[in-house]
Amino acid sequence: MMLETNQYLASLRDSVDLIAKVAHGNLARPVPSCPNWTMSHLVWHCTRVHNAIVQIVVDKVQGFDKLRPYKRVDDDVLIDTFVDGATSLIDVFKSTPPDTEIWSWVGPAPLTWAIRRMTQETMVHAWDAATAIGPAPTMPGDMASDGIDEFLHNFLRLQRESMPAPGGSVHIHCTDVHGEWFIDEPEVGSIVITREHAKGTCAIRGEASQLLLVLWRRQPLSTVEVIGAQDVAERFVERTAL
């Protein structure tokens, strides 16, 4: 279901530009969707993550614990450092064969995994940054739908301790673009994800951008439509460790 590489890189660049634009003059502003963060925290987080991926691709680093330390820069050069680092990341993505195998927390993966991950990571944080100063631009539907798929396959199995299982199956349905998923957990810890239209214990429906933000717990479940067991939908959204 992945998109073309040029689509990801164009989206990544757009997100970087948006973060740089809204962060200018606003580094001390709180970011409501990221509790305890200011804009400065958000920009530095993105800078560090981009640098980590460059190390993983270029230096073939095999784990986050093997990364070279990246010293925090002062706020007066933070935005420029972020933009320069993102440009280096994009250049690495362009110059590296897409089937190059790299380390990832889900196991050995092709470079395209990292391209997709960084595009989605940065897009959500661009939304975080933009909403800190006003209404954020709507995410493109096709990119948001891809983000839902990426979230389900990379993050759904990362579960918060002591959180109960959803207790039923979930059907996620984009109403504006193509995108449907059926998620079931026949045994605790054994999650099955299929891309299909199927009746679940509950259905969560909405525009792709709204659904993605709900999954990332940036917006409440009430911003989308829930059909069927509300409690299953609530546990499903709350269970992922973000």
Q: Tens digits of per-residue pLDDT, 104-124?
A: 999 999 999 999 999 999 999
Q: Which of 195, 208, 210, 202 is nearest to 226 (CA)?
A: 202
- Which position has the token pair 């690495």? 92
Q: Is 32 exposed, middle or buried (0-12, 13-18, 19+ CB in 10 A)?
A: exposed
The pLDDT mean for the chain works out to 96
Q: Tens digits of per-residue pLDDT, 205-231?
A: 999 999 999 999 999 999 999 999 999
Superfamily of domain 5-131 in the CATH hierarchy: dinb family like domain (1.20.120.450)
Q: Tens digits of per-residue pLDDT, 22-59?
A: 999 999 999 999 999 999 999 999 999 999 999 999 99
In the predicted structure, residue 1 carries a pLDDT above the cut 80: no
- Other Cβ atoms within 10 Å of 117 Cβ, number: 19
**For residues 14 and 8, what is the distance between their CA atoms, to the nearest angstrom?**
10
- Write down the domain spans for the chain: 5-131, 141-238
Q: Tens digits of per-residue pLDDT, 163-200?
A: 888 999 999 999 999 999 999 988 777 899 999 999 99
Average pLDDT over residues 13-22: 98
Query: What pLDDT does residue 161 have?
Result: 86
Backbone angles phi, psi at 19, to 5 degrees: -60, -45
Positive or negative, the CA dihedral 108, 111, 114, 116 is negative
Query: What pLDDT does residue 187 have?
Result: 78
Average pLDDT over residues 71-86: 98
Query: What pLDDT does residue 212 have?
Result: 98
Query: What pLDDT does residue 162 have?
Result: 84
* CATH code of the domain made up of 141-238: 3.30.1050.10
Strand order in the sheet with 202-206: 190-194, 180-187, 170-174, 202-206, 225-228
Do the Cβ atoms of 120 and 46 come closer than 8 Å?
Answer: no
Query: What pLDDT does residue 219 have?
Result: 97
Categorize the per-residue pLDDT at 7 as very low, low, confident or very high, splitting at 50, 70 and 90.
Answer: very high
